Amino acid sequence: MKPKAAYSETQRLVNGVNVDELFKTIDTVKRQPTVATFKFRAGNQWLGGGHNRTTVRNFYGAGQEHDRRQPFVLDADEPPVLLGEDKAPNPVEYLLTALAACVTSSIVYHAAAKGIRIKEMESRVEGDIDLQGFLGIRDDVPKGYREIRMHFKIEADAPAEELEEIVQLGPAYSPVFDTITRAVPVKVQLER
Amino acid sequence: MKPKAAYSETQRLVNGVNVDELFKTIDTVKRQPTVATFKFRAGNQWLGGGHNRTTVRNFYGAGQEHDRRQPFVLDADEPPVLLGEDKAPNPVEYLLTALAACVTSSIVYHAAAKGIRIKEMESRVEGDIDLQGFLGIRDDVPKGYREIRMHFKIEADAPAEELEEIVQLGPAYSPVFDTITRAVPVKVQLER
C-alpha cells in the first residue's frame, strides 16, 4: 500500500510546508518551552576595502547543535559609487534580503497553518538611507534606514478581501520584521 | 611619468578604500546634501515552503539610478528542524550576515578616514531567538532576536589600547547596526 501512504504524505503539505510537523512542533514547544530556544550564528572575514565574506555553518535549536553539510558562503561588497568593486550585494541590501525572505516565509507558514493555499507570491522592498549619517556629516541624520516599504503580490485560494489579512501575517509573525522594527540590543566586543 | 602617477594612486588606498575619493564624497555631500539620498531595493519570489529567492538589481544614489551588470541572486530556505530543505541560509541568518558585513565595512572605512591601517579582521556573531514568539504560542515572547552579540579580532597598525576604539567605529557608524538597534518603520502593503 505504498502509493497510498505517499499520497497521504503529500496531502499534509500546504504551501510546501508539512503542517502535521508544524502542529507537532507547536505541541512539543507547548509541553517543553526550552525546545524553542535557538541560537543562530555567522562568521565574517574581511577581504579588503568594502569586500568581506560571511560563512554560515551551524546553529543551536530544539535542544541540539545543527551542522550544515556544507557551509553557506555570502560575499558582501559596495558598488563603485560607494568606493567598492561591486563584487556582491552590499550589507544594507542583505538586510532587505533578510526582510523580504522572512516576511515571505512567515506568510507562507502561517497561511499553511490556517489551511490557506498560496499559489504565487512575489514582493519588492525599498528602503531610504541618507548617507550624511554614515559619513558623520550630520549627527541628527540616522545612519541606517529611515523607512522601509514592502509591496506584495499574492495569488491564493482565498477571496480578494482576505488577501490583505494574509499579507499581514508577515509583519505579524516575521522574526526579521520584528528585529528591525523593535530595536534589538547588539553588543560588539573586541576579542583579545 | 605614468609609473609615478600609478604609485601615487596606490598611496591613496588605506584598507583598500580610496580615501581621496572618500574625502571628495564628503565634501560633495556637504555642499549638496541631496547627493547623500540613497534608495536600496530588492525583489523576492516565493519558490515553495521556506524557499524563496531575492534578486538585487539596482539602487538610486548620488542623484541617479545605478544598474548592476548582473543581478545578485540570493536564495533563502529553512533547515529541516524548521521544516525546510536547507538549500540556503535562512532569513535570520541573512540578518546576521548583513550585520557582520556592515559593522566590518564601517570599521574599515572609518579607520581608513583616520589613517589607521587594518591588517586583518574577522568576527563572529550570534543571536538568540525563542520560537514561542514566531509560533504564536506566547504573545510576551518577541518574534525576532532578543539580543545579538558580535566578537571581533583585529590586527591593525595601532597600539593595543586603541583597538577597542577602532572596533567601536563599527556600532558608531554602521547603517545595519543602526537599523536593528533603533526600531525602523517597515510598511507592508498588498499590491492589487
CB contact under 8 Å between A133 and B175, yes or no, is yes
Residues of A in contact with B55 (CB under 8 A): none
Put simply, the chain B residues between 97 and 156 with a CB less than 8 A from any chain A CB are: 97-106, 108-110, 118, 120-137, 142-154
Nearest to A26 among B88, B135, B154 (CB): B135
pLDDT value at residue B3: 42
Point out the residues of chain A with pLDDT beneath 50: 1-7, 9
Nearest to B126 among A41, A124, A149 (CB): A41
Nearest to A154 among B149, B174, B190 (CB): B190
- B67 CB burial (10 A radius; 0-12, 13-18, 19+): exposed
> From the CA of B98, how many Å to the nearest CA of chain A?
5
Q: Is A31 helix (H, G, I), strand (E, B) or coil?
A: helix
Contact by Cβ (8 Å): A72, A97: no
Percent of chain B residues topping a pLDDT of 70:
94
Whole-angstrom Cα distance, residue A145 to residue A81?
18
pLDDT per residue as tens digits for the range A27-75 = 999 999 999 999 999 999 999 999 999 999 999 999 999 999 999 999 9
The sign of the dihedral angle between the CA atoms of A163, A122, B40, B89 is positive
pTM of the model: 0.95
pLDDT value at residue B88: 98
Nearest CA in chain B to A112: B49
A169 touches chain B (CB under 8 A): no
Whole-angstrom Cα distance, residue B192 to residue B138?
33
> From the CA of A156, how many Å to the nearest CA of chain B?
13
Residues of B in contact with A93 (CB under 8 A): 40-42, 56, 59, 72
pLDDT value at residue A10: 52
Whole-angstrom Cα distance, residue B129 to residue B96?
12
pLDDT value at residue B56: 98
CB contact under 8 Å between B185 and A147, yes or no, is yes
Q: Which amino acid is at B101?
A: A
Closest CA to A95 of A181, A164, A185: A181
Q: Mark A47-84 as b/e (b = at least 16 C-beta within 10 Å).
A: bebbbbbbbbeebebbeeebeeeeebebebbbbebbbb
What is the torsion angle, in degrees rounded to the nearest 10, for the CA atoms of residue B142, residue B143, residue B147 and residue B151?
180
> From the CA of B78, how many Å to the nearest CA of chain A?
9
pLDDT value at residue A192: 83
CB contact under 8 Å between B152 and A191, yes or no, is yes
Nearest 5°: phi and psi at B188? -120, 120
A17 touches chain B (CB under 8 A): yes
pLDDT value at residue B11: 54
pLDDT value at residue A42: 98
Whole-angstrom Cα distance, residue B127 to residue A158?
36
Whole-angstrom Cα distance, residue A107 to residue A104?
5
pLDDT value at residue B192: 83
Beta partners for residue B56, in sequence order: B72
Residues of A in contact with B142 (CB under 8 A): 178, 182
Nearest to A187 among B76, B88, B150 (CB): B150
Query: Would you give per-residue pLDDT tens digits along chain B (192 residues)?
Result: 344 444 454 558 999 999 999 999 999 999 999 999 999 999 999 999 999 999 999 999 999 999 999 999 999 999 999 999 999 999 999 999 999 999 999 999 999 999 999 999 999 999 999 999 999 999 999 999 999 999 999 999 999 889 999 999 999 999 999 999 999 999 999 998
CB contact under 8 Å between B96 and A41, yes or no, is yes
Q: In this structure, are strands B186-190 and A147-156 parallel, antiparallel, or unpaired?
A: parallel
> From the CA of B177, how many Å to the nearest CA of chain A?
7
Whole-angstrom Cα distance, residue B85 to residue B145?
23
Helix A91-113 and helix A175-182, axial crossing angle in degrees, nearest 10: 130
Mutate to test the interface with A, among B52, B73, B163, B173 (most CBs of A within 10 A): B52
